[in-house]
Structure 1
Amino acid sequence: MSSPAAFLAVTDLRGRRPAPAELEAALPRAELDVEAAAQAVRPVVEDVAARGAAAVLEASERFDGVRPPHLRVPPAELQRALDELDPAVREALETSAERVRAVDSAHTRPSDAVQVVPGGTVTQRWVPMRRVGLYVPGGRAVLPSSVVMNVVPAQVAGVEQIVVASPPQQEHGGLPHPTILAACALLGVNEVIAAGGAQAIALLAHGAEDLGDGAGLERVDLVTGPGNVYVAAAKRLVRGVVGIDAEAGPTEIAILADGQAEAAFVAADLISQAEHDPLAASVLVTDAADLVEAVERELAAQVPQAPHRERIEQALRGPQSGVVLVDDVEQGLAVVNAYGAEHLEIQTAEAEDVAARVTNAGAVFVGPYSPVSLGDYAAGSNHVLPTGGTSRFSSGLGVQTFLRGIHEIRYDKTALEASRGAATVLAEAEGLPSHGRAVDVRFDKHPARPSSRKASLSTPF
C-alpha cells in the first residue's frame, strides 16, 4: 500500500479478531525502560537525600552543564521575568489559566454525609494536600503551559504551599527559563527551585537543610508534573516517601478515523505530537485504506515545512508510531481501548456516539475541530495525562489529584446497638474477639465510678 518512503508502518488487523493480550502486543508502543533508568539515577537520588543542595548542584553541573548561583530563585528574578514577558504570551497564559480554573472549579467535591442507620452517619471530607512540588520540564521545549496545568488545579484544591522546580538554563545564568519564571509569578507562585531531572525530584521529596542561601527546603507531600524517563524513574524511587501523580513516558496520540476524516487534519495532528520527542508516538487507527494513502501524501507535504523536521521524522518512523488498519469503526474502538492513548482523537461519523464508548484514554478529543493542540493550551482541560497504556487505571492531573478523602464516622448509642450484631459476628469470624469486645463493652452495666474528687481524697499523699 505504502511506498518505501512512507512515514508510518502499517499493522493490518483486517479479518482478524486477536485476543486482548495478542492485540496489545501487536500495537505500536514506545520502548521505555523505566527500571533501567531507575538504576541509573538511584545514586543521584540517594546522594540528594544524604547531602541535599550540594548534591543537587553537582548533578546540575554534570547533567545540565551549569551550576546555578542559587537553587532558590530570588523573588526579584520572578518579578523581572514577569515584567519582561511578551504581552501576547502573558495574555495567552492568562486565558489558559482562566479556562483550566473554570473546569477545575466545577470538579471540586463537597463533603457529603450518608446516614447508614438512624443516628449513624459516615461523612466523606475532602482535604487538600498541605505542600506539593510541581515539576516543569526545560529540555527540548520550554513549557510555561505546564506551569498552568500543574499550579492551577493545586490552587483550586486549596493547597497551602506550592513549590515549582524547573531545570537551570546555561544561557540564562543558571536560572530556569524566564518564561517559566514569568508563568510562576503570574500565578502567584513565589517558591521556585532551579533544579531539573532526577535531582529535582529527589530534592522535592527529601528537602534540604540549606539551599545555599541560609534557608532550607521543606519536603513536599506530593510531586506532580511531566518529564523524561529519568524524571519518571526518580518518581518511582521516591514513591512512598512522597506521593506522585504518575510515571509519565513520551507523549502519544491515537486518532480513530474513518473515510470521512480530513487527511490534512489527521496528518497535522500526528505531526504535532511527533514534534515533542523522537520517542513520541503517533498512531492512526482506521478502516479506510484510502485515508492512509491521503495522510501519507499530507505528511510528505507537511513534515518538510516543520521547524523540527528531523525530530518529527524520527518519531513517525519509530516503532512506537504507525497505522493500524481495521475492518470497521467497531474494531477500531476495540483497538484504541486496548491502546489506552494519552490523547485520543475521534474523527469519524457520529463522533459523539463513538467517543461515549471509549473506556481507556487520558483525554478524548471529539470531532475535527477539537485537536490535541487545543488541549495542550487553551481547551480548559489538563495536558498532564497518563501515558503508556496506564489510562486503564489512572487519570490525568486535576483538582482531585491534590485532594484526599477522609471518612468521619459518627454513631450514637442507638446506632451502635443496631450495628452490634454484624460487628461482633465478623470479629469472631476473623478470630479477633477483642474487636467485638470493644463494641460489647459499651453496653455492659458498669458500677458507678467514684468521682475524681472522692478519688483524690482517698489518695494517701
Structure 2
Amino acid sequence: MKIQQVTDLVSIKRSIESGNDEQKTVVKEIIAKVRRFGDAALKELTEKLDGVCLSSFSVTEEEIADAYAQMDTRFVSIVREAAENIRTYHEKQLRPSWMTTQENGTIIGQKITPLDSVGVYVPGGTAAYPSSVLMNTIPALVAGVKRIVMVSPPNREGKLPAPVLVAAKEAGVHEIYKVGGAQAIAALAYGTETIHAVDKITGPGNIYVALAKREVFGDVDIDMIAGPSEIAILADDTARADEVAADLLSQAEHDPRACSILVTPSQALAEAVSIEVERQLKLLLRQDIAARSIADYGRIYVTSNMDEAIETINQLAPEHLEILTEKAFELLGKIRHAGAIFIGRYSTEPVGDYFAGPNHVLPTNGTARFSSPLNVDDFQKKSSVIFYSEKALMENGEKIAKFARVEGLEAHARAVEIRLKNIRETH
C-alpha cells in the first residue's frame, strides 16, 4: 500500500455516478416507457433485463414464509436484534411540532408531518443486502410514514433473496415488489397499475438506478446520489497494524473504486500497515476487487503531528472515520467533517454497517462537509405556522407594507393596508 507525505494529499473525491450518454439515453427511454405503458413495460423490461417472466410483481405471504424457512433461526434473531438497535437509535431523533406565543398575541411555530409514502430500492440479483432494508425502512417507519414500498430485482427464479425478505418482515414492511433497475425507480416515481407512486425514493443501486433517481428528482424527492464507499482511519502508534489493515480492506472489498485511507503521524505504523494490507489481501475471497481498490484509491498519509493529521481528515470529509488513538474521545471535538465516526479499537466499521444502530447510509465523495447520514428528518417535512394577532398587525403592518413596496409589490402592501383600515374603522 502506497505511503506518502500529506503534502501530496490526493482528494478522496471520485467521479459520482454521472454515467455516459448511452446510459443516460437508456434510462430516459425506460422511464418514458414505464410512464406510458405501466405494468406492461415493467413485465417486458424485467424479462429482458433480469431474464425472468413474472405473472405478478407482488411478493406473497407464502414467499415470505418460505424465506423464513430457508434462514437459520440464529440469523433471524440477529436481524431482529439489529432492527431493534436501529429503531431505538432513530427514535431519539424524533422532534415534536412546536408553537410559541408572543406578548402581542402572535403565535408562530412549526408543524412536523411524516411523508405519506416512501419507496425503498434494495439492490439484488446475485447479491443480498438485508442491512440496506433495515437502514432505509426503519427510520421512515419511526418518522411515521404510513406506506413503505420496497422494490428489488428478482433472480432467475423470479424470487427475492430470503435474507432480504426476512429483514423486510422484521422491519415492518408489507408492500414488496419484484422489480429492479431504472424501471423500478420509474414505477415508484410515476406509478403503474400495480405500484402506486410514492413521495420519496431512497436506497442504493447500480449506475442505471442512480441515473434514474437523478432523472425523477423534482417529481419526487430522493435521498442522495452516493459514490463508492470510503473509509479514513486516524491513528497513532498505539493502534495495531493488523486491525488497521483489516479495517482498510473492509471497505476495499466493496468496489474497485472504494477508497481506503490511513492518516497517521507514525512512520512505523504506516510501514507496518502497508505490509499487513498486502498480507491480508491474499486471504480475501474478493481479492481482485480489493487489490484494485487499494492500488488505485488506497493511501497511507504520514503527517508531521496529530494536528496536521486531524486537518487532513477534515479536508477528506470521509464517509466513515475511525479514530484509533490513545485518547480518541479527546479528538472527537476537532473532527468537523465525517459521515460516521467510530471511536476506539473495538468500534470497527462493520459494527456500524450492521448492528450498532446509527444509519449506514452516509454522505460520500467529500459531501460530509455539508450533509448528514440518512435519518428520521429525511422522512418528515416541516410546515411553518403563523397566527398574527390584531395587535401585532397594528404594530407592524406599516413596516410590512413598506417592505413590500420596496420590492415593487403593491398588491402585497395593499393586502396589509386594507386590514389596517378595517381595524381602525371598527375601533
Say whether residues 1:408 and 2:385 are aligned partners: yes
In the alignment, is the contact (CA less than 8 A) between 1:38 and 1:236 conserved in 2?
no
Say whether residues 1:125 and 2:111 are aligned partners: yes
Query: What is aligned with 1:457?
Result: none
Change (3 A) 1:333 1:46: farther
Query: What is aligned with 1:459?
Result: none
CA apart distance, 1:33: 4.3
Say whether residues 1:287 and 2:265 are aligned partners: yes
Q: Aligned to 1:358, what secondary structure does the other structure show? A: coil
Structure 1: any 5+ residue segments left out of the alignment?
A: 1-7, 17-22, 210-215, 450-461
In the alignment, is the contact (CA less than 8 A) between 1:29 and 1:321 conserved in 2?
no
CA apart distance, 1:59: 2.9
- The letter of the residue matching 1:79 is A
Say whether residues 1:10 and 2:3 are aligned partners: yes
Among 39, 45, 66, which residue is 1:53 paired with?
39
CA apart distance, 1:83: 4.1
Query: What is aligned with 1:364?
Result: 341
Among 36, 43, 49, which residue is 1:63 paired with?
49
Change (3 A) 1:38 1:393: farther
Per-residue Cα deviation, 1:245-299 (whole angstroms, up to 9, x for no partner): 0001211111111222211111111111112222221111222221121112212
Matched ranges for 1:253-402 at <5 A: 253-318=231-296, 320-402=297-379
Change (3 A) 1:140 1:174: closer
What TM-score results when the alignment is normalised by the length of structure 1?
A: 0.87
Distance across 1 between alignment mates of 2:118 and 2:229: 24
Among 77, 85, 100, which residue is 1:99 paired with?
85
Query: What is aligned with 1:224?
Result: 202
Change (3 A) 1:11 1:203: farther
**394-403 or 138-147, which moves further after superposition?**
138-147
Q: Aligned to 1:323, what secondary structure does the other structure show? A: strand
Distance across 1 between alignment mates of 2:369 and 2:4: 23
Query: What is aligned with 2:129?
Result: 143
Query: What is aligned with 2:182?
Result: 198
In the alignment, is the contact (CA less than 8 A) between 1:75 and 1:190 conserved in 2?
no
Distance across 2 between alignment mates of 1:356 and 1:57: 53
Distance across 2 between alignment mates of 1:146 and 1:186: 13
Q: Aligned to 1:142, what secondary structure does the other structure show? A: coil
Query: What is aligned with 1:243?
Result: 221
Change (3 A) 1:58 1:356: farther
CA apart distance, 1:239: 0.2
In the alignment, is the contact (CA less than 8 A) between 1:227 and 1:249 conserved in 2?
no
CA apart distance, 1:186: 2.2
Distance across 2 between alignment mates of 1:317 and 1:63: 33
Query: What is aligned with 1:153?
Result: 139
**29-38 or 260-269, which moves further after superposition?**
29-38
In the alignment, is the contact (CA less than 8 A) between 1:29 and 1:281 conserved in 2?
no
CA apart distance, 1:68: 3.3
Distance across 2 between alignment mates of 1:169 and 1:151: 22
Aligned length: 424
In the alignment, is the contact (CA less than 8 A) between 2:3 and 2:270 conserved in 1?
no
- The letter of the residue matching 2:403 is L
Distance across 2 between alignment mates of 1:447 and 1:332: 67
Distance across 2 between alignment mates of 1:297 and 1:139: 36
Which structure: larger Rg?
1
- The letter of the residue matching 1:435 is H
Change (3 A) 1:49 1:331: farther
What TM-score results when the alignment is normalised by the length of structure 2?
A: 0.93
Per-residue Cα deviation, 1:395-442 (whole angstroms, up to 9, x for no partner): 111111101011111122112222213311211111112112111111
CA apart distance, 1:161: 0.4
Identical residues among aligned pairs (%):
39
Structure 2: any 5+ residue segments left out of the alignment?
A: none
CA apart distance, 1:176: 1.4
